[in-house]
Amino acid sequence: MEIADKWIQLGYTAKLVLRIVGILEATYYYRKNKASQKPRVYHGGRPIPGYSLSKDGQPVSDEQIKEWLSELIADEESAYGYRKLTVCLRRDHQLVINKKKVYRLLIEEEL
């Protein structure tokens, strides 16, 4: 890759250099684009355990979310299930959170 980059920077066409080196164009550009990307925060498809993200990308701890859930349930008109609580968290606290995670947190807190 580095040899190909050197010759391409000298002015030779990428197609010619890659044919001589024996690298497919798709492979070259895929690796070039992949190297320029930032590393992902996620691992294995799930965000960092113990946190959720707000809409602006800031992490919010599960403990804070559990507090908000307790406050929502403590209200006098607390005829809420986990789905409605999820909607409230999304609306009131601008969280990006799944209903399954809300259900899991409610189970942990025995609410």
Question: In terms of residue numbers, what domain contains 28?
Answer: 2-36
Does residue 44 fall inside a structural domain? Answer: no
74 and 103 in a single domain? The answer is yes
The pLDDT value given to residue 92:
87
The pLDDT > 70 percentage for the chain reads 84
Does residue 91 fall inside a structural domain? Answer: yes
56 and 99 in a single domain? The answer is yes
Domains held by the chain: number? 2
pLDDT in tens, 66-93: 998 888 888 766 667 889 898 988 898 8
Does residue 21 fall inside a structural domain? Answer: yes
* Residue 61 to residue 101: CA distance in whole angstroms: 12
Does residue 42 fall inside a structural domain? Answer: no
The pLDDT value given to residue 111:
73
The pLDDT value given to residue 41:
54
The pLDDT value given to residue 34:
78
| Edge-first strand listing for the sheet containing 51-54 | 59-61, 51-54, 95-96
pLDDT in tens, 25-45: 888 888 888 776 665 555 555
